[in-house]
Structure 1
Amino acid sequence: MHCKSIRFRAASLTRLATALALAGGASLVQATEGGVSSWPMGIEIHGMGILPPPGTYGQVFVGNYLADTLRDDAGDKLPVDFDLRVTTIVPRFVWVTERQVLGGQLGFHALLPLNDIRLNVGGQRDHKRGIGDAHLGPVIGFHPSDKFHVATGVDFILPTASEYDKDDLVNLGTNYYTVQAVLAMTYLDPAGFNADVRLMHDYNFENRDTHYRSGRELHADYTLGWGLGNGWVIGVGGHAYQQISDDKCGASAQVDATDGNRGRTFSIGPAVQYASKDGWFFSAKWQDESGVRNRPEGQTYWLKFTTAL
């Protein structure tokens, strides 16, 4: 990958689950390498700040992302034929221990996505299917009240994807390490107002195959809803994303773009959750992107199932 002129091809592809690509002419700029972030934006739905009682839990996320538009640094549509379709299944394992740390519960989680990516850009096509990049890390959960819950931790995103080739149209992973600081909060009322937010800050390391280093990223998943008192919560949800430092080529050289290839997106759409009396949860969310800069623009749906093991 050339840092001063991004040629007509999509670069490194697939962030955890909702992988994204960018392509275009020599003047095209990209937010982070290939328009990719390690976190699948908007994947979390209701209850994202609640760490459950000690025990082991399983979650499965299913997502589908469709994009046919690319936006530049001014938010204008780029004149290139583009069609990206990403389907992902993400199993997640959560272990909450009996140990207390700083007055909160200590837990750990790990997930490994299974991705199917299809890209058509400028008449060129590529399709890959396989394992993406793993996420794992510790988390501490606090319960200030019966309705308000907080979880904080650090996630480590590892380049575990099945394969990587810098010259391919799509890849199953980013091919670099990311450290992500996390703060999540939930206000839960089974028969009233509900709100969730998961704040994240990503520090990306260099891709050794391309010598490209994506800038730091600040983003959040969120939901707002109303509990109906019968296990159902209905509302809206989505994500907000802003890249807060420039991309770099090599040790310190800036990329050839006046805005440093900084990306931005926002999404919103309907969200719903059902909590069963048996202790399992099911959530669903559809989100439409807007305000996009230096990234693809599309729509995503997420399904989430949680149960004790």
Structure 2
Amino acid sequence: MKISHCIAFTAALSANVPAAWAVEGGLGAYLLGSRTTFAGIVPGPGSYLGLDIVTSSGSVDGLSLGGLPIRADTDLDLTFAKLSYTYVFASELWGGTPALNVNVPLVLDANLTYTGVTPPLVGVPISDSTSGIGDITVTPMIGWHSGMLHYSAGLSIFAPTGSYRTASIDVPARTINALNTGKNIWSLQPVLAATHMNPKTGLELSGAASLLLSTRNKDTDYQNAPALNLEGTVMQHLPSGWAIGAVGYAYQQIGEDSGSGAAATRAALGASSLKARVFGAGPIISYSSASVFGQQASFQLKYFTEFGAKRRFESDTLWFNVSLTF
């Protein structure tokens, strides 16, 4: 089995970030399920380019978008692309290998729909849509190796580069303008990841733990509480370059959202708490013995279905990735 091909495949996935909305909008800054196969590995020196196409469909019973509380059961269909670049330095830092990852997301199509439940829009179908560049993420990281165990530490920095404006309602036209491609906040996410890979049997066990910390949205006076993310993967790699396995994650806010925006949302939804959680699981398949434009290439397809969601979208997500090594 060509382990180097598998490593190249995952190098550009070290910190995948979608163009989405904060917990304030029913989704987090970090796309759950980004760190899957070989999550703990920082590969050899070089450049790694990745392209992701992600489509997701979910619903939530009550949320706040751009400062507008929505009590109705709301659906969101989202398709976006993401270009990621990882550079691994030919040097040593603290006994490990340093690397830098940059992610640039582009919302291709986002559609929000619900039926009004409050006057003057009771029973009226409401929709909104948007597209454009999202919030860029930069992640410095360091990786270490010890036999079959590989582990890494990193810090993802989410910059508010996407467009953002507070929500508005056009009552005569019975429409809203609430979706944004950016979150209007800075976020930091320290992450620890590990991979145990047995090259003889092809069995891989990978996991990652991270904590998402965000600044206050000054336009809505909404402060998202810290959120703990746990992700895990079991993969069986075959000599042919194919691999198949299962992936899963758990998300839990570890505090209460604060600020006048959070207080207004609690009051509008009649909720005692806005603390969010969700779980997700699904299959994953990859092929790492490919070549594109004369460069070593890998492909990955994974699917997540979420369950147990509270105060955030519960979604089904299909995710395709191609990664090139230079």
Normalised by the size of structure 2, how large is the TM-score?
0.78
Could you say which residue in structure 1 is the equivalent of 2:55?
A: 64
For 1:84, which of 76, 80, 90 is the aligned residue?
76
More helix by share: 2
Match of 1:276, SS state, is strand
Alignment of 1:207 onto 2:224: no
Could you say which residue in structure 2 is the equivalent of 1:38?
A: 29
CA distance in 1, matches of 2:290, 2:321: 17
Deviations 1:193-249 (A, max 9, x none): 212222110111000111110000100232212122221111111321000011010
Task: Give the 5 Å matches for 1:89-108.
Answer: 89-108=81-100
The answer to whether the 8 A contact 2:135-2:158 is kept is yes
Q: In 2 relative to 1, CA 264–299 (structure 1 residues): closer, same or farther, beyond 3 Å?
A: same
Percent identity over the alignment is: 29
* One-letter amino acid of the counterpart of residue 258, structure 2: K
Alignment of 1:293 onto 2:310: yes
Question: How far apart are residue 166 of structure 1 and its match?
Answer: 3.8
Q: In 2 relative to 1, CA 135–20 (structure 1 residues): closer, same or farther, beyond 3 Å?
A: closer
* One-letter amino acid of the counterpart of residue 55, structure 2: N
Structure 2 residue runs without a partner (length 5+): 1-15, 64-69, 116-124, 169-176
Alignment of 1:19 onto 2:29: no
Could you say which residue in structure 2 is the equivalent of 1:12?
A: none
* One-letter amino acid of the counterpart of residue 124, structure 1: I
What RMSD, in angstroms, separates the aligned Cα atoms of the two structures?
A: 2.6
The answer to whether the 8 A contact 2:231-2:248 is kept is yes
CA distance in 2, matches of 1:212, 1:162: 17
The answer to whether the 8 A contact 1:157-1:179 is kept is yes
The answer to whether the 8 A contact 1:163-1:171 is kept is yes
Deviation larger for 133-142 or 246-255: 246-255
The answer to whether the 8 A contact 2:19-2:135 is kept is no
Q: Which has the larger radius of gyration?
A: 2
The answer to whether the 8 A contact 1:70-1:297 is kept is no
Runs of 4+ with >6 A deviation: 251-255
* One-letter amino acid of the counterpart of residue 48, structure 1: A
Deviations 1:7-63 (A, max 9, x none): xxxxxxxx9426369xxxxxxxxxx31222110111333122211111111011211
Matched pairs, number: 279
Q: In 2 relative to 1, CA 100–236 (structure 1 residues): closer, same or farther, beyond 3 Å?
A: same
Structure 1 residue runs without a partner (length 5+): 1-14, 22-31, 73-77
Task: Give the 5 Å matches for 1:34-183.
Answer: 34-70=25-61, 80-115=72-107, 116-122=109-115, 123-145=125-147, 147-167=148-168, 168-183=177-192
